Amino acid sequence: MCDMSDSINELAAALSKAQSCLTHAKKDSKNPFFKSSYADLTSIVEAIKKPLSENGLAYSQLAESSEGLVKITTILMHSSGQWIRGTLHLAPVKNDPQSYGSAVTYGRRYGLQAIVGLSADEDDDGNAATGNAPPKQPQKPPAPKPDPKPNPKTSPKSEDPFSDANKKPGINYKFLETMKTVKAQIVELDGSDAAYYQCLGTHGAEKSNEIMDDDLQKQVYKDLMSYIKNKAKKQKTVKCPDMEDAEMPVEDCAVCAHREGCKAHEV
């Protein structure tokens, strides 16, 4: 609410001169809620008292409480008797002396700034008087999840070439299915797929779907099956009749190693 004397011509002229001498009030107080600086009441008074007094101006501020509100009335007066006044209504966050005191200080500061036209604040500390929550900080987008670490027990080359995403024209998928089965047999025999990829490497490939030539596919299959057959043979044990039926791997039978047609060691 604003009010004034019947005439304010002399007051207006004096205020115009005072405003030409006003400087920004120092922002020497910190707002921990808004993380900003602002000019407190003392800084504002220091900024305006000399320009006002040199031009025949003075001010007065009154505080009262009514129906849970704090009312701050600021009156700007001129030596001619002319005056203007305005009232701010504030609602303290709590019904205690601290909240009322904070509201009075806040109201005096802004009432005085407004009536003389002083610019000071980059941000206010009204949260102390009104209970406004500090502004929410913009949330950072969630950090991208790191790619899952490869399982050291699984070769990075063991990707499935049979998914729809990996199918490409010109690839012999029957060969790839066969290689998948062959690889499983090698893993069962050796406990790893190292021999499988070693064989591919000797033919210049890292993965089976890189082998496009039909003849090369046949050669790779032949080499792998030969490896599986020899590995299985080495792991097979039989009862050797010439060694009192003792069970031993075929390759370790000294008596029958060179005996052609030995049925006990036939594989």
Cα–Cα distance for residue pair 255/102, rounded to 1 Å: 106
Dig out the tokens for 94 from the structure.
């709590």
Greater confidence (196 vs 237) lies with 196
For the chain, how are helix, strand and coil distributed in percent, rounded to 5? 45, 15, 40
Cα–Cα distance for residue pair 203/190, rounded to 1 Å: 21
Q: Which amino acid is at 18?
A: A
pLDDT value at residue 17: 93
Contact 74, 59 (CB under 8 A): yes
Full 3-state SS string of 234-266: HHCEEEEHHHCCEEEEHHHCCCCCCCCCCHHHC
Q: How confident is the model at residue 14 (pLDDT cuts 50, 70, 90)?
A: very high
Contacts of 197 (CB under 8 A, 6+ apart): 155, 157, 206
- Ramachandran angles phi, psi of 25, nearest 5°: -70, 145
pLDDT value at residue 60: 93
If 0-12 CB within 10 Å is exposed, 13-18 middle and 19+ buried, where does residue 156 land?
Answer: exposed
pLDDT value at residue 102: 86
Beta strands, E only, the chain? 2-4, 29-31, 36-38, 57-66, 69-78, 83-90, 237-240, 246-249
Lowest mean pLDDT among 84-93, 147-156, 190-199: 147-156
Dig out the tokens for 72 from the structure.
């701050």
Q: To the nearest whole number, what is the mean pLDDT of the chain?
A: 76
pLDDT, tens only, 105-154:
888 888 888 898 887 645 445 554 555 555 556 666 677 776 666 554 44
Q: Return the residue matching tokens 């062959």.
A: 182
pLDDT, tens only, 18-75:
989 887 766 655 554 445 556 788 888 888 889 999 999 999 999 998 888 899 999 9
* pTM (predicted TM-score): 0.44
Taking residues 224-248, report their average pLDDT.
71
Cα–Cα distance for residue pair 189/135, rounded to 1 Å: 66
Q: Return the residue matching tokens 């210049």.
A: 204
pLDDT value at residue 21: 87
Give all domains of the chain, ordered by start, each with its CATH number.
Answer: 2-130 (3.30.160), 164-235 (no CATH)
